[in-house]
Amino acid sequence: MFEIAIKNGLCLVKDRFLRFNIGIEGNKITYVGKEDIRGEENINATGCFVLPGFFNAHTHSAMTLLRGYAEGLPLKEWLEKIWEKEAKLDERAVYLGAKLACVEMLKSGITCFADMYIHMDSIAKAVEETGIRAVLGYGMADRGDEKRAKEEMRIAMDFIKNWSGKKRMEFILAPHAIYTCSPEFLAEIARIAKEKGIIKHIHASETLWEVREAKKRYGMSPIELLNSIGFLDNKTVLAHGVWLSERDMEIISEKGASVAHCPSSNLKLSSGIAKVAEMLEKGINVCLGTDGAASNNLLNLFTEMRISALLQNLRRKFLNPAEFLRMATSNGYLAYGINGGMIEKGKLADLVIMEVSHIHQPLYEPVNSIVFSSLGSEVRDVIVDGRVVLEDREPIYFELEELIEEVRLLLSFDYYYEKV
Ligand SMILES: [Zn+2]
Query: Do 109 and 51 contact (CB within 8 A), yes or no?
Result: yes
Can you list the pairs that 117-120 forms with residues at least 24 positions away whose Cβ atoms lie under 8 Å?
A: 117/60, 117/61, 117/62, 117/63, 118/86, 118/89, 118/94, 119/62, 119/89, 119/90, 119/91, 119/94, 119/95, 120/159
Predicted pLDDT at 36: 96
Report the DSSP beta bridge partners of residue 387: 384
Please state the separation of Cα 366 from the chain's center in Å.
Answer: 23
Give 71-82 as a DSSP string: -S--HHHHHHHH
Low-confidence ranges of the chain (pLDDT < 70): 413-420
CA of 239 to the centre of ligand 1 (A): 7
CA of 220 to the centre of ligand 1 (A): 22
Considering just the CA atoms, what is the radius of gyration of the chain in Å? 21
CA of 296 to the centre of ligand 1 (A): 10
The reported pTM is 0.96
Residue among 415, 418, 416, 399 at smallest CA distance from 99: 399
CA of 33 to the centre of ligand 1 (A): 39
CA of 80 to the centre of ligand 1 (A): 14
CA distance 277 to 282: 9
- Write the class of the CATH domain 2-52+344-395: mainly beta
Q: What secondary structure letter does DSSP report for 305?
A: H
CA of 10 to the centre of ligand 1 (A): 34
Give 311-331 as a DSSP string: HHHHTT----HHHHHHHHTHH
CA of 14 to the centre of ligand 1 (A): 31
CA distance 313 to 419: 43
CA distance 125 to 407: 16
CA distances from 110 to 66, 144, 191, 264, 384 (A): 21, 36, 32, 17, 9
CA of 289 to the centre of ligand 1 (A): 9
CA of 23 to the centre of ligand 1 (A): 37
CA of 362 to the centre of ligand 1 (A): 37
CA distance 205 to 189: 19
The alpha carbon dihedral of 386, 390, 396, 402 has a sign of: positive
Report the DSSP beta bridge partners of residue 172: 199
Predicted pLDDT at 408: 86
CA of 57 to the centre of ligand 1 (A): 10
CA distances from 76 to 81, 82, 274, 279, 316 (A): 9, 10, 18, 25, 29
CA of 398 to the centre of ligand 1 (A): 28
> Where do the H-state alpha helices sit in 38-142?
75-86, 91-107, 120-130
Predicted pLDDT at 420: 42
Domain ranges of the chain: 2-52+344-395
Predicted pLDDT at 339: 98
CA distances from 75 to 72, 83, 215, 351 (A): 10, 12, 19, 34
Predicted pLDDT at 260: 98
CA distance 341 to 99: 23
CA distance 398 to 40: 23
CA distance 417 to 287: 33
Q: What secondary structure letter does DSSP report for 290?
A: -
CA of 149 to the centre of ligand 1 (A): 20
CA of 292 to the centre of ligand 1 (A): 6
CA distance 55 to 285: 13
The alpha carbon dihedral of 265, 271, 273, 274 has a sign of: negative
Predicted pLDDT at 413: 53
Three-class SS state of 67: coil
The alpha carbon dihedral of 167, 169, 170, 172 has a sign of: negative
CA of 378 to the centre of ligand 1 (A): 27
Up-side HSE of residue 42: CA atoms within 13 Å toward CB? 10
**CB neighbours of 147 closer than 8 A, spacing ≥ 6?**
none
CA distance 296 to 218: 31
CB-based burial of residue 147 (10 Å sphere; 0-12 exposed, 13-18 middle, 19+ buried)? exposed
Predicted pLDDT at 172: 98
